A and B are shown apart, each in its own frame.
Chain A
Amino acid sequence: MKNMKRILVSLLLVVCLLVVCLTASAEAPQYKKMKIAWGTNTTSEAFVKMQNFFKDVLGPALNVEFMYSEALTDAGSMISFIESAYINGCDGVVMDLANFIDQGAPVAQDFGMFFVGISSADAVENLELPNYISVVGASAAGYGESYAKAIQSVVGDGEEHAIMILSGAAPYGATSFIEGTVGSLRALQDVYGLTYENDLYAMATSSTQVEAANDKNVKITVVPGMGDLTATVSPLLQTGEYDVIVGTTDIYSSLSVAVDEVEKATGKNISFISRNVFSDTVSTAMNGVDSTGNPVVDAIVCNGTFEHISSVVLLRNCFDGFEAQMRGEGRPSRVPGMNPLVITSAEEYNALSSDDMPYSFAAIEDIIALTSLVNPDVTWEDINTYGQSLTTENILIKYAK
């Protein structure tokens, strides 16, 4: 059944691309030059990789120039950046600052620039603004599903486990963190068939450590915080009660030393589920073993990067005059696209992080095929469908050597 589904999705993908390619002209069209302002909330390794891809591949292919912000932290700095974008002659804005995209859209509208927000939650305000094109980025439910899969891969072995979930910035309202935590709690609910005594969202957004009390007495603890996690987590792990640690943020970088020390001291393996991106560091971790002879990291939830591509394509199409097809019915379209990838083994990781893999697993021809100048019938839904087809399984099939 599962194989059947996989084959069907792959076939659908191939048919979609064939249709798109057939309707496309033989040569890449002459895109008019446009400039996109990219507001980011971080300048991490992933952001640098994205910049390089834009500079070397996507920018030249779609004739787009980019202007980047410093790491934006609040609505004030976001608005200043959008104003600077207008002064610098940008035609569209992509804003990767989830909590404030609804405040950014009217500013871009005032200056006549198209606006795309990146968030795991949908837009709720200023929906009527015609230049508020879309909200892209894996959905909150998508994060939940991915975490559920990752947890299932570790605790679904029929054994009894005690789990610590690090909710990261969930107490500060970060939706992807909240959904990651809620998704993890739900996954545990399914695995053990348990019922929680408290509300899932209340536990996920708690600013203090909470026990997720349940009828099956499975030990589940939610620990918040982004700062000095070792001070909080190390004493808890030393009790020897926990054997699974789940992070809604990159806990591999911040906690691997502390966890390793606890493993050495207690002689007990602690399974590690972290949220990461592809990097040399994670590659070493996925391929290495810890002091107990088990994998250093058991599963990672890898942030999707398709939102970077979909936002540029959406703005490119709007700039070329196809904004009606890029916006939803009287409101911004919602393009969750690709769910965060779940990687549960070194083999999967090595295959997905291979040098031959295109950025976000989307070949440049596929991306060009999604532009309106090539395919005037393309809509935001097509872009979304393409993104959704990029699951771990499909990618491995598509790029199998």
Chain B
Amino acid sequence: MKRTSKGVKILKSVGIALALPIIMYVIMELLVYATQGKHLFNSILDIRNLIRGAGISAAVAFALSMNLTSGRMDLSLGAQRVAGTILGGLLAQVLGLSGIWYLVFAVIFGILFGALVGTAFVTLRVPPMVLGIGMACILECLGFATSGGIGLRIVGMPGTEILSNATFTIVVIAIMVVFMLFLMTYTRFSYNFRAVRGSQQIARNSGINVFLNVAICYTVAGALVCVSGILDSAFSGSMNASMGLTSNGSVMANMFAMMIGCTFLARYINQAVGVLSAAVALRIFAMGLTAFNVSDAVSSCINMALFIAFLVWQANSNVLKQRKYDQARIAQAQEMKRQRAAA
């Protein structure tokens, strides 16, 4: 009996996880076919590109979720991504190592930078957004100076073909999702994470090392953005060394997926799966907009308008429910009062 209910639960979760991308696909396919007379996906390559793009977005969204869901906005995440990817890639190049090592070293640097920012935060205890600006100044400079301003060039480098191989990318993304699923569901860290998110004071009183937990959040986020950084630069050929605190743009672009996954889908399914599902759905939406041939500016405006609508709905869905409930109670009280008066 118990086994059956668990099976149903899993099936239900899978259904919910697939629902958003499928709904999005159906809507966009219908719209694209009706207006453009063509299909959203033309070949298996389109689907592979979808998974690859969504995976790269999901990695950044996971990283954002480590801190943002607890109200900590880390503005150095983009700089960690740029510096970690460049330094990791350059080290692998200097040592003459093959593609996988680019990823390994980038993750190591990501862990180092994430841990650095996290340790600075728990030690100095200044607002994370403000600390992020200072750390971004330093990390951007590190990535820029180390590469002489050039950044990391992967295209054409011997032994790096594997990094842009779609199958390899999908395997890395799968490992990352499984890791996040495990980390955020079955570990002590995840329980502590949720406790700290709920109330720092209560978590502390119940014996949780809040500082350690938060530092780990930063460390994991650092590693994740570097995974996305390497996969992204392998596909697009390079990672430019940003300066002037401009590195955070690519990270912010994935906030919508994080919000849908962590604040909406997480109510019904595992957060990690929710983020991935949201990333896939948004990627399909973006492909639809591309098929409509709208300009970058219009596409971005549509995305952000939807994001605002989502935030407003999220913030007010309870308000409407509460108002309905209050009205019912008032009506009930008035009815009682009338009945009493009549009696």
A/B: CB atoms within 8 Å of each other: yes
**B22-62: which residues lie under 8 A (CB-CB) from chain A?**
42-46, 48-49, 53
Secondary structure type dominating chain A contacts:
helix
Q: How far is the CA of A257 from the CA of B237 in the complex (A)?
A: 8
Q: Does B294 contact A (CB under 8 A)?
A: yes
Question: Which residue in A225, A239, A280 is a CB contact (below 8 Å) of B42?
Answer: A239
The residue of chain B having its C-beta at the shortest distance from the C-beta of A47 within the complex is B149
Which residues of chain B have C-beta atoms less than 8 A from A71's C-beta? 243-244
Question: Which residues of A from 236 to 252 have beta carbons under 8 Å from B?
Answer: 238-239, 252
Is B108 close to A, CB under 8 A? no
| A44 adjacent to chain B (CB < 8 Å) | yes
Q: Confirm or deny: A23 has a beta carbon within 8 angstroms of a beta carbon on chain B.
A: no
Pick the residue among B238, B243, B286, B295 that contacts A231 (CB under 8 A): B286
Within 8 A of B (CB), among A1-57: 43-45, 47-48
Shortest C-beta distance, B72 to chain A (Å), equals 28
B150 touches A281 (CB 8 A): no
Decide yes or no: A234 and B156 within 8 Å by CB, A45-B150, A208-B295 being known contacts: no
CB <8 Å contact, B235 and A257: yes
- Chain A residues near B218: list those with CB within 8 A: none
A235–B290 CB distance below 8 A:
yes
Q: Which one of A230, A235, A265 contacts B236 once the chains associate, using CB atoms below 8 Å? A: A230
Contacts of B241 in A (CB 8 A): 43
Q: Are A256 and B287 in contact (CB under 8 A)?
A: no
Q: Among residues 111 to 151 in chain A, which have CB atoms less than 8 Å away from a CB atom of chain B?
A: none
**Is the pair B291, A253 in contact by a Cβ cutoff of 8 Å?**
no
- Which residues of B (129-162) have their CB < 8 Å from a CB of A? 144, 148-150, 153, 155-157
Q: Mark B276-294, 1 if CB is under 8 A from A, else 0.
A: 0000000000110011011
Q: B164 on the interface (CB 8 Å rule)? A: yes
Complex CA gap A45/B152 in Å reads 10
Measured between beta carbons, the chain A residues less than 8 angstroms from B144 are 43
B295-328, CB < 8 A from A? 295-297
**What separation, in Å, do the CA atoms of A208 and B42 have in the docked complex?**
21
Partner of A265, one of B43, B238, B297: B43
B177 at the interface (CB under 8 A from A): no
Contacts of B44 in A (CB 8 A): 265
Q: How far is the CA of A235 from the CA of B45 in the complex (A)?
A: 9
A281 with B149, Cβ < 8 A, contacts A208-B294, A254-B237, A256-B237 known:
no
- Cα(A171)–Cα(B295), bound, Å: 10
* Contact yes or no, B287 A285, CB < 8 A: no
CB A35 to nearest CB in B, in angstroms, measures 21
Known contacts A231-B290, A253-B237, A253-B238; decide if A238 and B45 are in contact (CB<8 Å). Answer: yes
Residues of B within 8 A of A393 (CB): none
CB distance from B29 to the nearest CB of A (A): 13
B227 at interface by CB-CB < 8 Å: no
Complex partner residue of A208 from B149, B243, B293, CB under 8 angstroms: B293
Q: In the assembled complex, how far is the CB of residue A71 from the closest CB belonging to chain B, in whole angstroms? A: 6
- Across the interface, B156 reaches (CB within 8 A) one of A70, A231, A284, namely A284
Most B Cβ at <10 Å: residue of A43, A73, A238, A262: A43
What CA separation (Å) do A135 and B48 show in the bound complex? 47
Interface centre among B234, B235, B237, B238 (most CB of A within 10 A): B237
Residue of B nearest to A48 (CB): B148
Considering the chains assembled together, what is the distance between the CA atoms of A255 and B49 in angstroms? 13
User: Is there a chain B Cβ closer than 8 Å to A232's Cβ?
Assistant: yes
B243-262 vs A, CB cutoff 8 Å, 1 = contact: the mask equals 11000000000000000000
User: Does A67 count as interface, using CB distance less than 8 angstroms?
Assistant: no
Task: Kindly provide the distance from the CB of A354 to the nearest chain B CB, expressed in whole angstroms.
Answer: 19
- What's the nearest-Cβ distance from chain A to residue B293, in Å? 5
Give the contacts of B153-189 with A (CB-CB under 8 A). 153, 155-157, 164, 166
B297–A261 touching, CB < 8 Å:
no
What is the CA–CA distance of A47 and B243 in the complex, to the nearest angstrom? 15
Q: Does A227 contact B (CB under 8 A)?
A: yes
- Which residues of B lie under 8 Å from residue A253 when comparing CB positions? 153, 155, 236-238
A234 touches B46 (CB 8 A): yes
Q: How far is the CA of A238 from the CA of B295 in the complex (A)?
A: 21
CB-CB < 8 A to A228: which residues of B? 236
A255 / chain B contacts, CB cutoff of 8 Å:
237
- Kindly identify which residue among B43, B150, B235 contacts A230, using a CB–CB cutoff of 8 Å: B235
Instruction: Give A281's nearest chain B residue, CB to CB.
Output: B156
Cα separation A279 to B156 with both chains bound (whole Å):
11
**Quick one: closest A residue to B241, CB to CB?**
A43
Say whether A232 contacts B243, CB under 8 Å: no
Which B residues touch A99, using CB under 8 A?
none
**Is the CB–CB distance between A258 and B235 below 8 Å?**
yes
Closest to A251 in B: B237
3 residue pairs, one from A and one from B, having the closest CB atoms: A253-B237, A43-B149, A207-B295
**Could you write out 27 A-B pairs with CB less than 8 Å apart?**
A44-B149, A44-B150, A71-B244, A73-B244, A207-B297, A209-B293, A224-B295, A227-B296, A231-B49, A231-B53, A232-B290, A234-B45, A235-B42, A235-B290, A238-B46, A253-B155, A254-B237, A254-B238, A256-B156, A257-B234, A258-B49, A265-B43, A279-B153, A280-B156, A281-B153, A281-B156, A281-B157
| A→B interface (CB under 8 Å) | 43-45, 47-48, 70-71, 73, 171, 207-209, 224-225, 227-228, 230-232, 234-235, 238-239, 252-258, 261-262, 265, 279-282, 284-285
